[in-house]
């Protein structure tokens, strides 16, 4: 069977057809960039304290009715208690002065029975101030982020299988619509419960749209352009969307206005249906040769080149056989069916889990870099631009296995070294943490391309979706991983560093895909080098020689 890349070589790599697909799919990633981290702003907790009703209190008692407490070495107003209002009102009416006539430490306290007063220094409103997700309901604030990440996990798992079965294009546009619609509907949430349900649906569409766009571009584009798209195009689209988020959030400090601004751009993607085709690779894998050829003839017309009379001559017999014998349907269990694919999948899942845990752990922790959350978010996003550029260069010139190994090792060591930096050198700690974020971001970009190159067409989207689902487990536990700093300041970095080093050595057991065509079938995958430990291979070659007869 003739290789797919050779069959479509007549199109060239960078004609008008490829340019349209490249830039439109890259633009479709922008909402993913600002969508996934928008929770940083719309679910942030403003400074707050108990609300004091408009009662007849002297100014001295108004300034005293909220107790003060020490948090992280700093004195601040209590967030969840106040002195009993009826007692304070009586003392104020009798003319007593707090601190002189009354020892305020002896006064009884009560909860915020009248609600809370929220600071508007940074935000006009968030869902925390809207639904009072503080004090007894404080657990709902981090759980909101967890719900979103769990949705991306579920979406990653099922979108791959749906895309492999029903096609890349239908799933791509359906999930884009789901993402846009549910972001908009969230604005009208009457309660936190309704909000998180809608947020879950939004998360399903968000990650499914991202995975489908990535696989669709990787299968339509070829050669160096495919590498450029999978490393630089998709990732820079995400980074630009990420950098747009703090800019938009700075001017729209009300959570409803922010969500509205995030949903409206989705309407601009409706015309893309008539410009982005179905993947010819997927059509071939389904035995739909005529549709694949029709798509490529339209592409040839756009590129102003002449298509051969028969593009996939060798596939006609295969297509007839597919009609005679029903095509085997693949699912996630196909990734565990043979030893080679099973070992490769387990190693890739470990690497994806490690990179996602490190990426989201360091991204969420970046809020500690600066008191202003808008600046912190922008710094965290800006470091990704050079990271994705480096990823593109690595994908183009460096073998995949070596790249991922070095990146994970450097990232793990930089996180280990954080505990050795004196507290007086805080700038060095920030630099090491940003180095870790830089290399882990490179690794995340590399793994999308590496995973897509390792699997055949029939399993590619399922494998990418499954690996992404496993990575979302890492993103879901990242906020809780940061809480380990309560026991030891550097424990989260030690855990992330250990995962990175272990994963680095595990990648040495993966096959190499650099400079090789994408496998079309599972049989082509098995022809690649087996996943074997080099030490075992050496033992096999060290068997005693057999004496030949004279």
End-to-end, the C-alpha distance of the chain in Å comes to 45
- For the cut 70, the answer to whether the pLDDT of residue 537 exceeds it is no
Residue 370: the pLDDT is 59
Residues of the chain with pLDDT > 90, as a percent, come to 15
Q: Six-digit token pair at 180?
A: 């846009």
Write down the pTM of the prediction: 0.76
Query: Is residue 165 within 8 Å of 329, Cβ to Cβ?
Result: yes
- For the cut 70, the answer to whether the pLDDT of residue 474 exceeds it is yes
Q: Six-digit token pair at 418?
A: 């954080």
Residue 325: the pLDDT is 47
What is the C-alpha separation between 438 and 388, in angstroms, rounded?
Answer: 9
Residue 548: the pLDDT is 38
pLDDT tens for residues 71-106?
Answer: 656 778 888 898 888 888 888 888 888 878 888 888
- For the cut 50, the answer to whether the pLDDT of residue 140 exceeds it is yes
What is the C-alpha separation between 225 and 196, in angstroms, rounded?
Answer: 39
Residue 546: the pLDDT is 38
φ/ψ of residue 70, rounded to 5 = -100, 125
323 pLDDT band (50/70/90 cuts)?
A: very low
Measuring CA to CA, which residue among 219, 153, 490 is closest to residue 352?
153
Residue 187: the pLDDT is 93
In angstroms, the Cα distances linking 381 to 250, 359, 376, 378, 528 are 15, 11, 9, 5, 37
What is the C-alpha separation between 217 and 109, in angstroms, rounded?
Answer: 61
- For the cut 50, the answer to whether the pLDDT of residue 481 exceeds it is yes
535 pLDDT band (50/70/90 cuts)?
A: very low
Query: Is residue 269 within 8 Å of 61, Cβ to Cβ?
Result: no
259 pLDDT band (50/70/90 cuts)?
A: very high
Residue 332: the pLDDT is 66
φ/ψ of residue 71, rounded to 5 = -130, 120
CB atoms within 10 A of CB 424: 7
What is the C-alpha separation between 26 and 395, in angstroms, rounded?
Answer: 18
The whole-chain average pLDDT of the chain stands at 81
Residues of the chain with pLDDT > 70, as a percent, come to 88
**What does the pLDDT average to over 232-260?**
89
314 pLDDT band (50/70/90 cuts)?
A: low
pLDDT tens for residues 482-508?
Answer: 767 767 778 888 999 999 999 999 999
Which residues neighbour 178 within 8 Å (Cβ) at sequence distance 6 or greater?
A: 201, 202, 204, 205, 208, 209
- For the cut 70, the answer to whether the pLDDT of residue 472 exceeds it is yes
What is the C-alpha separation between 359 and 79, in angstroms, rounded?
Answer: 31
331 pLDDT band (50/70/90 cuts)?
A: low
- For the cut 70, the answer to whether the pLDDT of residue 163 exceeds it is yes
pLDDT tens for residues 501-534?
Answer: 999 999 998 888 777 777 777 766 666 654 454 4
- Least confidently predicted of 224-233, 276-285, 411-420: 224-233
């Amino acid at each position: 069977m003739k290789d797919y890349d050779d069959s479509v070589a007549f199109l060239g790599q960078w004609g008008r057809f490829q340019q349209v697909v490249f830039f439109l799919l890259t633009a479709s990633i922008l909402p993913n960039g600002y969508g996934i981290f928008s929770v940083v702003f719309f679910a942030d907790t403003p400074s707050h304290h108990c609300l004091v009703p408009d009662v007849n209190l002297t100014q001295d008692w108004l300034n005293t009715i909220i107790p003060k407490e020490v948090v992280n070495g700093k004195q601040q107003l209590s967030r969840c208690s106040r002195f009993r209002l009826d007692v304070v009102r009586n003392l104020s009416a009798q003319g007593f002065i707090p601190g002189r006539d009354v020892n305020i430490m002896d006064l009884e306290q009560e909860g915020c029975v009248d609600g809370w007063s929220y600071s508007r220094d940074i935000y006009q409103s968030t869902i925390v101030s809207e639904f009072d997700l503080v004090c007894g309901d404080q657990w709902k604030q981090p759980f909101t982020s967890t719900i979103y990440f769990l949705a991306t996990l579920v979406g990653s798992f099922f979108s791959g299988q749906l895309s492999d079965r029903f096609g890349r294009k239908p799933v791509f546009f359906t999930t884009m619509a789901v993402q846009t619609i549910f972001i908009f509907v969230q604005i009208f949430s009457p309660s936190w419960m309704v909000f998180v349900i809608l947020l879950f649906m939004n998360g399903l569409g968000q990650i499914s749209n991202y995975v489908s766009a990535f696989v669709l571009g990787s299968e339509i584009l070829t050669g160096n352009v495919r590498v450029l798209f999978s490393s630089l195009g998709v990732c820079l689209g995400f980074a630009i969307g990420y950098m747009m988020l703090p800019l938009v959030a700075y001017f729209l400090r009300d959570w409803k206005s922010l969500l509205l601004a995030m949903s409206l751009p989705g309407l601009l993607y409706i015309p893309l249906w008539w410009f982005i085709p179905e993947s010819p690779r997927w059509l071939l894998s389904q035995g739909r040769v005529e549709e694949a050829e029709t798509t490529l003839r339209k592409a040839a017309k756009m590129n102003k080149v002449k298509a051969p009379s028969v593009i996939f001559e060798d596939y006609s017999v295969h297509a007839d056989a597919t009609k005679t014998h029903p095509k085997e349907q693949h699912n996630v269990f196909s990734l565990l069916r043979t030893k080679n694919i099973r070992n490769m999948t387990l190693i890739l899942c470990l690497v994806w889990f490690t990179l996602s845990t490190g990426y989201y752990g360091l991204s969420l922790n970046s809020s500690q870099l600066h008191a202003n959350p808008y600046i912190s978010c922008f710094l965290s996003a800006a470091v990704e631009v050079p990271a994705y550029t480096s990823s593109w260069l690595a994908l183009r010139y460096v073998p995949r296995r070596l790249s991922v190994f070095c990146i994970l090792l450097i990232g793990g060591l930089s996180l280990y070294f954080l505990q050795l930096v004196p507290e007086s050198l805080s700038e060095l700690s920030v630099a090491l943490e940003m180095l870790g974020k830089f290399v882990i971001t490179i690794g995340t970009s590399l793994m999308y391309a590496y995973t897509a190159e390792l699997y055949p067409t029939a399993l590619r989207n399922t494998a990418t979706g499954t690996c992404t689902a496993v990575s979302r487990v890492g993103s879901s536990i990242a906020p809780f991983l940061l809480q380990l700093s309560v026991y030891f300041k550097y424990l989260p970095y030690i855990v992330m560093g250990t995962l990175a080093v272990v994963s680095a050595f595990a990648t040495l057991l993966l096959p190499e895909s650099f400079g090789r065509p994408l496998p079309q079938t599972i049989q082509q995958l098995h022809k690649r080098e087996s996943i074997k430990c080099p030490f075992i291979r050496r033992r096999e070659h060290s068997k005693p020689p057999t004496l030949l007869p004279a």
